[in-house]
Amino acid sequence: MNRRTFLQALMLTATGGLTSLPAWADDDEDDNKTSTNVRFSLANTGITNKHVVIVGGGMAGATAAKYLRLWGGAGVSVTLVEPNPIYVSNIMSGLVLAASRTLSSLNYSYTNLINNYGISLKQASVVSFDNTRKIVTLSDNSSLSYDRLIFATGIQLDDAYGLTATDYAGNYPHAWQSGPQTSKLASLIANMGNNDTFVMTIPAKPYRCPPGPYERACLVADYLKRTGKTGTKVIVLDENTAIAGSDLSAPYNAIQAEPHSFHQAFTQIHTNITYHSGVTGISVTKSSANDGSGSISCSAGNFSAKVINIIPPHRAPSVMTNLCNGGRWAPVNVLNYESTVANMTGIHVIGDASQTTQPKAGHIANQEAKVCADAIIRAFQNQGVDPAPVTNSACYSPITNTTASWLTGVYQYDATSKTMRLWANGAFTDKAIESADISSKNFSKMSTWFNTLMGDSFS
Ligand SMILES: Cc1cc2nc3c(=O)[nH]c(=O)nc-3n(C[C@H](O)[C@H](O)[C@H](O)COP(=O)(O)OP(=O)(O)OC[C@H]3O[C@@H](n4cnc5c(N)ncnc54)[C@H](O)[C@@H]3O)c2cc1C
């Protein structure tokens, strides 16, 4: 990449609604290096001796690490603390369940962040923090001091409905964090036979990836049909209730994202899906074989299942309890993603763990990371925050192994409610836009969107 194209790309990101950048991994005209361990010329911003610690190297943390260095320059050192050597994307993991994609194709290494931007990676977990001393303690008993601390830890899944973390790690995977549970759930689905039933649950909002559970139902139903498993059924038990103003009839008026696409999918494309909404009192009884099968009772009835797949309620991880004010998520000021909890000044929370009006989604995690990085750099320069940040989100949902729908929205800051609100055609609409159809064209565009987003976050 030459200096001119680099600067054009940088300006696009900073001023053009925080849009995604293409990956740079193939660029080879790397001119004007100013540091021995960075691939790009870091800006001279006048900032010196600042250290930001980022907890969690997922969609939010990786993006924040990159942009703090790109925009903050060499005087802002960044340590990314992450226990896993490789990030496994949740996005597209539904296709692994449908045997259309391998799990390893969703692996993203931290090598580019280290080599391109000089980010330090510490392979450990943060176990505690002390904001008076400005220190985090890691699982290897070491500690790191910080000027600013960013939590980007994603989610922690509750024990729920009679299942525990031991069950999730065994034969009752939720697979709502990609990794071994994704492979396990894929093999349970692959082992289903004729007339078997797959029962899944959806927790009450807010949960990670609003369209994700509905997409999962479609992909499992599609896989069972494609592989000729006759008489198989997919039962969806959704705890969510009707959305005010929905133009769909019950039970479909409770679908949390892309309602028209999933209504069409459930009623016309995948007639082997039965969808229930407003479900309460879910209780799981595992089979004596403890093999992923069992029964579920709830307000919608009693169901026997060959495969039980619950998506448990989730929350910010317990290391963040002091940032959550007694709730499940960490409240933040969306102008800089700084915690609004007393005595937590200088601590920022981005991605799924934060409590905002934006969806818990990878694309939004990437966008929140950029707004946060920009605000931290401004703070280091004694400048105020951008008073009118904009974020955007897109999400493609595969409906079969060749077709997809999509959802998109632009969020503008609303100074009255101090929240991010959906915006279109010059006004707040509070409505995301969904695709008019389910098509193979959408499916092919999905790859471009996904590769661009992941490249922007990890390259
Ligand atoms: C099936 C599925 C499909 C999805 N599809 C889409 C989609 O199409 N579009 C979309 O935008 N989003 C999608 N999502 C949502 C998306 O994956 C998440 O919203 C996104 O990953 C959130 O980013 P994050 O950085 O907050 O969390 P994560 O990406 O989960 O990253 C959190 C990181 O923090 C680390 N961590 C946790 N605790 C600690 C600790 N104490 N110390 C150090 N590190 C820690 C974890 O190891 C992890 O690497 C999907 C999710 C699922 C489950």
271 Cα to the center of ligand 1, angstroms: 31
Determine the Cα–Cα distance for residues 42 and 33; give it in Å rounded to an integer.
8
Q: Are the C-beta atoms of residues 422 and 432 closer than 8 Å to each other?
A: yes
* Nearest protein CA to atom 20 of ligand 1, as residue: 362
Q: Which two tokens stand for residue 96?
A: 């692994």
78 Cα to the center of ligand 1, angstroms: 20
Residue whose token pair is 């098509």: 439
Q: Residue 88 pairs with which residues in a beta bridge?
A: 107
Calculate how far, in angstroms, residue 251's C-alpha sits from the geometric centre of ligand 1: 29
Per-residue pLDDT of the chain (459 residues; tens, 9 = 90+): 333 333 333 333 333 333 333 332 223 323 322 344 677 788 889 999 999 999 999 999 999 999 999 999 999 999 999 999 999 999 999 999 999 999 999 999 999 999 999 999 999 999 999 999 999 999 999 999 999 999 999 999 999 999 999 999 999 999 999 999 999 999 999 999 999 999 999 999 999 999 999 999 999 999 999 999 999 999 999 999 999 999 999 999 999 999 999 999 999 999 999 999 999 999 999 999 999 999 999 999 999 999 999 999 999 999 999 999 999 999 999 999 999 999 999 999 999 999 999 999 999 999 999 999 999 999 999 999 999 999 999 999 999 999 999 999 999 999 999 999 999 999 999 899 999 999 999 999 999 999 999 999 999
60 Cα nearest atom in ligand 1: 25
Q: Diameter of the chain by CA atoms? A: 67
Alpha-helical regions (H) of 54-136: 59-72, 94-97, 111-117
Contacts of 204 (CB under 8 A, 6+ apart): 239, 240, 313
Ligand 1 pocket list (CB less than 6 A): 55-61, 81-84, 87, 90-91, 93-94, 125-126, 152-154, 176, 208-209, 212, 317, 319, 351-353, 360-363, 365, 395
Which DSSP helix (H) or strand (E) runs through 307?
strand 307-309
- The pLDDT, as a whole number, for residue 37 is 60
262/216 Cα distance (integer angstroms): 11
Residue 36: partners with Cβ closer than 8 Å, 6 or more residues away = none
Q: Give pLDDT, residue 326.
A: 96
| Helix residue ranges, H only, 122-240 | 165-169, 180-190, 212-226
CA of 177 to the centre of ligand 1 (A): 7
Please name each of the domains of the chain with its CATH number: 3-155+316-384 (3.50.50.60), 160-313 (3.50.50.60)
Atom of ligand 1 nearest to the CA of 351: 26
Residue 433, number of CB atoms within 10 A of its CB:
15
Q: What are the beta bridge partners of residue 80?
A: 54, 121
